[in-house]
């Protein structure tokens, strides 16, 4: 049920975490800088954040994981708002500000959350920007609400068949070896099991963030500095595992795009772990309106290539919707 909104006055081996600490559309300790609004979904109040005015429309920016908070998407939100759009970011249910017990099925609940916020804002067909896992979340929403989206912008996306993920752990491992990080190659770093201890869970979670996230940067030292912003509170391991299992039971089909027939834009960095596998897989199935590849950056183009990123986002937003 959608309500009115108002201003806000064990699993097993940690090797899984190399897969799950994937796309790190993670949240940092700093949190959101804008005030929160509330919407009611399934009798729970959920928080979302809005910047800008809806003069040119509404844009939802969906982040990575699954299982990470999304405050680090605020630079994208600000750029979108500066272009005359109403820009929305939020933590999905079970994460960060919305850490309340999540409902199952998880992905259905998350799609319903996006729709609840859209209705609360009385937004007409919206634009979706999906980063990493957020690209799959955007597609899952379109699958359920195709008439409510007029444009899709994919940033460093996971492809629906997850072909890019087949190479992921190997590339993360090799990058850490290249940077001479001995802890990453320590058998104990991969062999620990997650027990019932909250302290142990937090320690393993933080270690994975600090050792995996830097490998997603072209400039490894910049990645280390970026990772130091984050805490174990920024990632929900159980939610990550459960969401991926749900997705694997009912993966997206490319027929979605044949039926939808709206513009899809693709932006990537050549040095991203997901490249070129995600582009090859998706370009064979989707007629992209435009494909742009940035040089000398990894998984976070708005951090590593802010000027080029801003120009492309502007071009995508101003492009046709038919």
Residue scoring higher pLDDT (47 or 31): 47
Residue 267 lies in a domain: yes
Residue 196 lies in a domain: yes
The residues pairing with 68 across neighbouring beta strands, listed in sequence order, are 235
Write down the pLDDT at residue 322. 65
* Residue 242 domain boundaries: 15-318
Residue 6 lies in a domain: no
Residue 199 lies in a domain: yes
Residue 4 lies in a domain: no
3-state secondary structure of 193: strand
Q: How many domains does the chain have?
A: 1
Reported as type and span, the H/E element at residue 208 is helix 198-212
Mean pLDDT (whole number) for 55-65: 95
Cis amide linkage into residue 123, ω under 30° from 0: no
Residue 289 lies in a domain: yes
Mean pLDDT (whole number) for 64-74: 91
CA distance 14 to 184: 12
Give the phi and the psi of residue 135 in degrees, each rounded to 5: -65, -45
Q: 72 near 26, Cβ under 8 Å?
A: yes
In our burial notation (b when 16+ CB lie closer than 10 A, e otherwise), range 188-206 reads ebbebebeeeeeebeebbb
Write down the pLDDT at residue 196. 56
Residue 7 lies in a domain: no
CA distance 137 to 127: 13
Write down the pLDDT at residue 42. 86
Write down the pLDDT at residue 202. 77
Write the CATH number for 254.
3.40.50.1820
Residue 9 lies in a domain: no
pLDDT tens across 82-135, in order?
999 999 999 999 988 999 877 789 999 999 999 999 999 999 999 999 999 999
pLDDT tens across 183-239, in order?
544 444 434 444 556 777 777 777 777 888 899 999 999 999 998 888 878 888 788
């Amino acid at each position: 049920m959608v309500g009115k909104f108002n201003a806000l006055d064990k699993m097993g081996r940690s090797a899984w975490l190399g897969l799950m600490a994937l796309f790190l559309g993670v949240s940092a300790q700093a949190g959101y800088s804008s005030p929160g609004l509330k919407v009611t979904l399934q009798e729970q109040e959920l928080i979302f954040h809005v910047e800008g005015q809806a003069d040119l429309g509404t844009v939802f920016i969906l982040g990575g994981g699954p299982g990470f908070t999304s405050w680090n998407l605020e630079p994208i939100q600000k750029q979108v708002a500066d272009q005359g759009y109403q820009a929305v970011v939020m933590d999905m249910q079970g994460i960060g500000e919305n850490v309340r017990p999540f409902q199952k099925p998880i992905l259905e609940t998350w799609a319903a959350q996006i729709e609840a916020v859209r209705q609360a804002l009385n937004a007409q067909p919206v634009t979706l920007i999906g980063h990493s896992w957020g690209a799959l979340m955007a597609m899952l929403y379109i699958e359920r609400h195709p008439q409510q989206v007029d444009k899709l912008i994919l940033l460093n996306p996971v492809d629906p068949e997850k072909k890019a993920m087949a190479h992921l752990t190997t590339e993360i491992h090799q990058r850490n070896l290249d940077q001479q990080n001995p802890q990453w190659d320590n058998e104990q770093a991969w062999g620990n099991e997650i027990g019932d201890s909250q302290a142990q869970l937090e320690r393993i979670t933080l270690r994975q963030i600090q050792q995996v996230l830097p490998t997603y940067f072209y400039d490894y030292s910049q990645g280390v500095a970026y990772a130091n912003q984050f805490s174990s509170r920024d990632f929900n391991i159980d939610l990550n595992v459960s969401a991926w299992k749900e997705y694997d039971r009912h993966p997206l089909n490319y027929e979605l795009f044949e039926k939808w027939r709206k513009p899809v834009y693709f932006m990537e960095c050549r040095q991203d772990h997901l490249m070129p596998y995600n582009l090859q897989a998706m370009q064979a199935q989707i007629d992209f309106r435009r494909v742009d590849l940035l040089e000398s950056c990894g998984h976070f183009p708005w951090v590593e290539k802010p000027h080029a990123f801003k120009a492309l986002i502007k071009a995508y937003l101003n492009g046709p919707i038919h």
